[in-house]
Amino acid sequence: MTSTPAPGSPAWWLRRTASPTAPRRGRGRPSLDTDHMVATALRLIDEHGVHAFSLRTLADALGSSTATLYRHFANKDEILALTVDLALGEAGTVPPAAPAGWRDVLSTMGHQVRAVLTRHPSLLPTLMDHVPVGPNALAQRERVLAALLRHGLQPALAARAFTAVGHYVIGFAVQQRESDGAPLADYYRDLDPTTHPAIAATAESLTAVTPDDEFAFGLGLLLEGLARQKDASP
Amino acid sequence: MTSTPAPGSPAWWLRRTASPTAPRRGRGRPSLDTDHMVATALRLIDEHGVHAFSLRTLADALGSSTATLYRHFANKDEILALTVDLALGEAGTVPPAAPAGWRDVLSTMGHQVRAVLTRHPSLLPTLMDHVPVGPNALAQRERVLAALLRHGLQPALAARAFTAVGHYVIGFAVQQRESDGAPLADYYRDLDPTTHPAIAATAESLTAVTPDDEFAFGLGLLLEGLARQKDASP
DNA sequence: ACCTGAACACCGTTCAAGT
DNA sequence: ACCTGAACACCGTTCAAGT
């Protein structure tokens, strides 16, 4: 009895990347069909949000039918996972050409992933659902980890640092996301100061800084903590 | 033209908490119906996962019908938000009775929220969807921020620290969540070492530590970074 | 006044029937 | 061999009809 791995799971990716239906670039006929379908899905999600994305809308945009989609993908989750991986491929080469050190590697990675999320904010829910383990995500993880090891970080610290920066970027994007057109900080500031004095007091200072400054501040804080850890057990 | 706030949004919570249908504890007849419905929803989600949770299953469990649910809640999102807030209410009193300092406050908060997520892992996707702004979430934020201010943290740093710890706990829970029965670390370790040498090398060290140690390590790292920031601009 | 069966407009997924 | 209309079993939400 062979178990069928759930889409988006590591085992599923292993199966998919090993299968002959996986897109082959370089040699042979590239399966442009699949690539085009995923690109179309990404565009639809960017334009109308992941909430409005259905297999019927994708089939319509492709001039096909929903049943045909199942000849290219196992199910909707697979399409969403491929969409996220396609967007992560836009992150560019991480680390940069000549990183000044491990801090530079992680800082660049953080800003590049943030750029991807800024370009595709609708992907945030899907990105949070599963740890991305598609080919582009794996390639990025490999590049960054290799650079960190090259700069002398211990393996355990390198892995944790990669995860910490990734989580920070996603967490920041969630926090920054507006609800109902008004930032969360406005909501906190308008709370009754007598029942929530501390929230109101701290909300004032929240709106003083720009999102970019806030992002850089938190990222610097994270790297500072990592540096302390590195020096503590070198 | 009055805009109808989206469920789960700050504006929506303002409307709901101000409405007479909101549960009133202490005085008058408590609307045990609503509380019981939310508690049942939480139990169903705990038992069968948020994926299997539908209004029909909730109505069946209550011996009622889906249409009746709409006399108590605006829609499904409202029920999910109330479920998350109910679970957050289990976090206990944060900060502890006699915190040794702002580090103790944040550390306790981190461990308590982690305990909630351990008890209700199925709530993770819902918790990531929206920043929780229900009554229990607000009360916790107020308590923690007040304690941080009392211990001398600047308002801006206190707000950032609260958010950073919250994001860290959620991010850790996502990372720890297993997929397909096998931890993510196993997947990384089994990758081809020739194509992904750095991932394989760092994966070995990932499985060496227990989740509890890993959690405490990362939290300590975060607090270390915050301490540096506090000392830099007091 | 309060509740609800049944309908509505969807959804992901499957498959017999077309070419 | 490849595609797809139509069906299936759902879903959240609404409302006319019951009591």
Q: Establish if A94 belongs to a structural domain.
A: no
pLDDT of res. B204: 81
Cis preceding linkage at B95, omega within 30:
yes
Last residue of a domain, one of A45, A67, A87: A87
Q: To the nearest whole percent, how much of chain B has pLDDT over 70?
A: 80
A141 contacts in chain B (CB < 8 Å)? 196, 199
DSSP A165-230: HHHHHHHHHHHH--BTTB-HHHHHHTS-TTT-HHHHHHHHHHTTS-HHHHHHHHHHHHHHHHHHHH
Residue A54: pLDDT over 90: yes
A125 and A201 both lie in a single domain: yes
A226 touching B (Cβ < 8 Å): yes
Q: What is the CATH number of the domain that holds A202?
A: 1.10.357.10
CA nearest A176 in B: which residue? Answer: B131
Q: Establish if B2 belongs to a structural domain.
A: no
d(CA A162, CA A170) in angstroms, rounded, equals 13
Residue A76 and residue A67 in contact, taking contact as beta carbons nearer than 8 Å: no
Last residue of a domain, one of B67, B87, B107: B87
pLDDT-wise least confident of A38-42, A116-120, A126-130, A159-163: A126-130
Residue A153 and residue B209 in contact, taking contact as beta carbons nearer than 8 Å: no
**Rounded to whole angstroms, what are the CA distances from A57 to A43, A64, B81, B208?**
12, 10, 29, 46
Task: Give the length of chain A.
Answer: 234
B223 and B186 both lie in a single domain: yes
A173 and A123 both lie in a single domain: yes
B71 and B141 both lie in a single domain: no
For residue B182, the SS3 value is: strand
Q: Which of residues 69-88 of B touch strand D (CB under 7 A)?
A: 70, 75-77
Residue B43: pLDDT over 60: yes
Higher pLDDT, A27 or A126: A126
The domain total for chain B is 2
DSSP A134-167: SHHHHHHHHHHHHHHHHTT--HHHHHHHHHHHHH
pLDDT-wise least confident of A225-229, B32-36, B208-212: B208-212
Higher pLDDT, B205 or B175: B205
Backbone angles phi, psi at A179, to 5 degrees: -125, 130
What is the domain range of residue B220?
99-232
Higher pLDDT, B11 or B33: B33
Angle at B9 between CA B119 and CA B22, to 5 degrees: 75
User: Which CB contacts under 8 angstroms, 24+ apart, belong to B53-62?
Assistant: B55/B79, B62/B36, B62/B37
pLDDT of res. A5: 62
The token duo for B44 is 């169903």
pLDDT of res. A203: 87
d(CA B151, CA B99) in angstroms, rounded, equals 9
B217 and B122 both lie in a single domain: yes
Q: What is the CATH number of the domain that holds B81?
A: 1.10.10.60
Is there a contact between A179 and B125 if contact means CB atoms under 8 Å apart? no
Q: What is the mean pLDDT of residues B199-228?
A: 84
pLDDT of res. B27: 28
B123 and B196 both lie in a single domain: yes
**Rounded to whole angstroms, what are the CA distances from B113 to A178, B77, B82, B168?**
24, 22, 17, 10
Residue B73: pLDDT over 80: yes
Mean of the per-residue pLDDT values for chain B? 82
B211 and B110 both lie in a single domain: yes
pLDDT of res. A11: 66
Closest CA to B188 of A88, A133, A105: A133
Residues 84-113 in A contacting B (C-alpha not used; CB under 8 Å):
none
**Rounded to whole angstroms, what are the CA distances from B163 to A206, B80, B110, B159?**
11, 22, 11, 6
Q: Please name the residue whose C-alpha is nearest to the C1' of nucleotide C14.
A: A67
Q: How many CA atoms lie within 13 A of B169 on its CB side?
A: 21
Reported confidence tier of residue A10, pLDDT bands at 50, 70, 90: low
Residue B172: pLDDT over 70: yes
Q: Tokens 């829910």 — which residue?
A: A125
A123 and A198 both lie in a single domain: yes
Last residue of a domain, one of B60, B87, B114: B87
Closest CA to A85 of A41, A52, A50, A55: A41
B51 sits within 7 Å of strand C by its CB = no
